Amino acid sequence: MAFDIDHYAETSDGVGWADLDFESFAEQPLPEMTLRTLRYMCNVEYHTVCYLRDLLMTPSHKERDVNAFMTMWNREEFWHGEALADVLGRHGITVDYDELKASRVKLEWRDKLGPLRQSILGNIVGADYIAVHMSWGAANEWTAVAAYRRLAALEQHPALSPLLRRIAQQETKHVAFYATQARNRLEKSKLARKLTRLALAKAWEPVGSSISEPDEVQHVMRHLFDSEDGMAEVRRIDANIAKLPGMEGLTILETALRKGGVAA
């Protein structure tokens, strides 16, 4: 499946929500556990720029398609953050620049080492390391699509559910880019397949784990996936990841959830 980067760039836009009836949150406010999950999702979206930073440490950004995608992707994710912040704002939860800065500063040391580690790895292993990033990105985006769709289905809210479906729709384009890139790069190199399998099997955690308290990660995973429908979704994501060249048999999301005490 080819990814048409020109079409993607031309049509890329911030997610819109002006037409949705956000006044409905006054009469039908969201329950506490949903707000907690949304807070997590909002943080993850705003932090995309930090993931971008790690991606930029590899030489991949100089490739035209990757450059175009990263620019658009980063902005779309920023707008997901803005949209979710607006929903939270309707419930008296403020997510502003200062608060975001405070949470980024809190991550301090772990975070400061991030680019250093990425840069050294990226430069030593070179092009094959890009395959790791692309596969990692695909796994994250698949999880994000599933998470938004699950929450939309769980809530059935007249404003929230359509918003989450719109966000999920944009995330499916991100999946297409990452999966196409990952597949192409994995097919070409045995070392890339080995490195990627090792990274996903040993180091992958649900998106947001590195920027959130463990309790919050567990809450979100339990909220979204700890049910029969939820686990069916989890297995579908794992099956998608396992279809990437060299990733046969991996069940990284289910494994991560079991480790976190979800879906025992």
Which residues form the interface with other proteins (CB under 8 A)? 9-10, 12-14, 46, 49-50, 52-53, 56-57, 59, 61-62, 67-68, 70-72, 74-75, 78, 82, 96-98, 100-101, 104-105, 111-112, 115-116, 119-120, 123
Residue 94 CB: number of other CB atoms within 10 A?
9
Count how many Cα atoms sit within 13 Å of the Cα of residue 134 in the half-sphere of its side chain.
27
Q: Quick one: 116 or 239, whose CB is closer to other proteins?
A: 116
Q: Quick one: 28 or 123, whose CB is closer to other proteins?
A: 123
Residue 179 CB: number of other CB atoms within 10 A?
23
Alpha-carbon distance of 264 to 261, in angstroms, equals 6
CB of 149: closest distance to other proteins in angstroms?
A: 25
Q: Quick one: 31 or 126, whose CB is closer to other proteins?
A: 126
Instruction: Name the residue type at position 37.
Output: T
- 78: DSSP letter: H
Q: Quick one: 71 or 251, whose CB is closer to other proteins?
A: 71
Q: Cβ distance 1 to 128 under 8 Å? A: no
As to burial, measured by CB atoms within 10 angstroms (0-12 exposed, 13-18 middle, 19+ buried), residue 177 is buried
- Torsion 189-190-195-199 (CA) sign: positive
Alpha-carbon distance of 113 to 110, in angstroms, equals 6
CB of 79: closest distance to other proteins in angstroms?
A: 8
Token pair belonging to 230: 């939820």
CB of 125: closest distance to other proteins in angstroms?
A: 12
Token pair belonging to 233: 């979704």
CB of 128: closest distance to other proteins in angstroms?
A: 15
Q: Which of 133, 134, 150, 142 is nearest to 238 (CA)?
A: 142
Helix (H, G, I), strand (E, B) or coil at 131: helix
CB of 8: closest distance to other proteins in angstroms?
A: 12
**What does the CA dihedral 160, 211, 196, 239 come to, rounded to 10 degrees?**
-30
CB of 6: closest distance to other proteins in angstroms?
A: 10
Q: Quick one: 82 or 226, whose CB is closer to other proteins?
A: 82
Q: Quick one: 167 or 241, whose CB is closer to other proteins?
A: 167
Q: Quick one: 115 or 162, whose CB is closer to other proteins?
A: 115
CB of 101: closest distance to other proteins in angstroms?
A: 5
